[in-house]
């Protein structure tokens, strides 16, 4: 049984802001783990079948205040935890998280909540076996997101909390604050911080090496 969280499987997290390349790395890592003949499942932020639609509707209608924002995302996580994450861990799967509770720590504290309030909200969350954090400067994030989507997201730019009437300026302010919060969490939670500006294959090789060591221990331990 795994000592980090008490389940048979492994819980591996890839964190980062939008545009950091985390989803790409999750997909590449998932393929690698399956090739090694381990069961693997991916859980993404805001994908609960019960809650995600509510969050999307509230965002479209601009109905989310700071506390509602926090609680709805916590509900989304809780539903996925009970119905996806814990069952997979009990079955001995490797569970890959495309964002984890640290995203909530960052976003909610930037939106004005006391970090200890947020940590208490997620106090039941299982401790991950590995956390990778892709660090990318704001100027590169802007270029990546505009190249991908053509526009900047309203909430990812912090427009809902009135940082600036200019969405580009608001994005810069909001994301810099998010990066500052991630920096505070790195040492506290043992993040493996990676340079997200490097080529995706180079990043994958580093992640793969760390995960391979963990998988080897998993086989020996079990």
**pLDDT score for 195:** 98
CA distance 140 to 198: 12
| Distance of alpha carbon 201 from alpha carbon 89, whole angstroms | 28
Whole-number pLDDT of residue 190: 94
Write the secondary structure of the chain as one string of H (helix), E (strand) and C (coil): CCCCCCCCCEEEEEECCCCCCHHHHHHHHHHHHHHCCCCEEEEECCCCCCCHHHHHHHHHCCCCCHHHHHHHHHHHHHHHHHHHHHHHHHCCCEEEEECCHHHHHHHHHHCCCCHHHHHHHCCCCCCCCEEEEEECCHHHHHHHHHHHHCCCCCCCCCHHHCCCCCHHHHHHHHHHHHHHHHHHHHHHCCCEEEECCCCHHHHHHHHHHHHHHHHHHHHHHC
The domain 10-136+190-221 is placed in CATH, from the list 3.40.50.300, 3.40.50.1970, 3.40.640.10, 3.30.200.20, at 3.40.50.300
Structure confidence at residue 150 (pLDDT): 87
Q: Which residues pair with 192 in a beta bridge?
A: 132
pLDDT for the residue numbered 222: 46
Domain ranges of the chain: 10-136+190-221
Note the pLDDT tens digit of each residue in 46-104: 999 999 999 999 888 888 888 999 999 999 999 999 999 999 999 999 999 999 999 99
Task: Give the span between the Cα atoms of 192 and 13, in whole angstroms.
Answer: 10
DSSP one-letter code for 159? G
Question: Is the model's pLDDT at 124 over the cut of 80?
Answer: yes
- Residue written as token pair 């499987």: 9
Confidence at residue 219, expressed as pLDDT on a 0 to 100 scale: 65
Name the DSSP letter for residue 133.
E
> What pTM value is reported for the model?
0.94
Q: At what angle do helices 138-149 and 167-188 cross, to 10 degrees?
A: 120
Using the predicted structure, report yes or no on whether residue 12 has a pLDDT greater than 60: yes
Return d(Cα 56, Cα 50) in angstroms, integer: 12
- Binned at pLDDT 50, 70 and 90, residue 2 comes out as low
Separation of alpha carbons 109 and 116, rounded Å: 9
């Amino acid at each position: 049984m795994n000592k980090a969280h008490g389940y048979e499987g492994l819980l591996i997290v890839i964190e980062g802001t939008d545009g950091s390349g985390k989803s790409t790395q999750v997909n590449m890592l998932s393929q690698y783990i399956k090739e090694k003949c381990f069961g693997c499942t991916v859980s993404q932020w805001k994908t609960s079948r019960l809650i995600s639609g509510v969050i999307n509707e509230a965002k479209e209608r601009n109905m989310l205040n700071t506390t509602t924002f926090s609680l709805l995302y916590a509900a989304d996580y809780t539903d996925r935890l009970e119905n996806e994450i814990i069952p997979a861990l009990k079955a001995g799967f490797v569970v890959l998280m495309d964002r984890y509770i640290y995203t909530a720590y960052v976003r909610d504290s930037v939106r004005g909540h006391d970090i200890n309030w947020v940590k208490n909200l997620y106090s039941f969350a299982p401790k991950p076996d590995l956390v990778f954090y892709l660090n990318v400067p704001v100027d590169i994030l802007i270029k990546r997101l505009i190249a991908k989507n053509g526009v900047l997201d309203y909430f990812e730019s912090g427009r809902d909390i009135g940082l600036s009437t200019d969405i580009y300026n608001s994005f810069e302010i909001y994301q810099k604050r998010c990066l500052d919060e991630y920096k505070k969490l790195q040492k506290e939670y043992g993040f493996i911080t990676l340079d997200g500006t490097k080529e995706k294959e180079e990043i994958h090789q580093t992640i793969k090496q760390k995960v391979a060591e963990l998988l080897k221990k998993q086989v020996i331990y079990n």
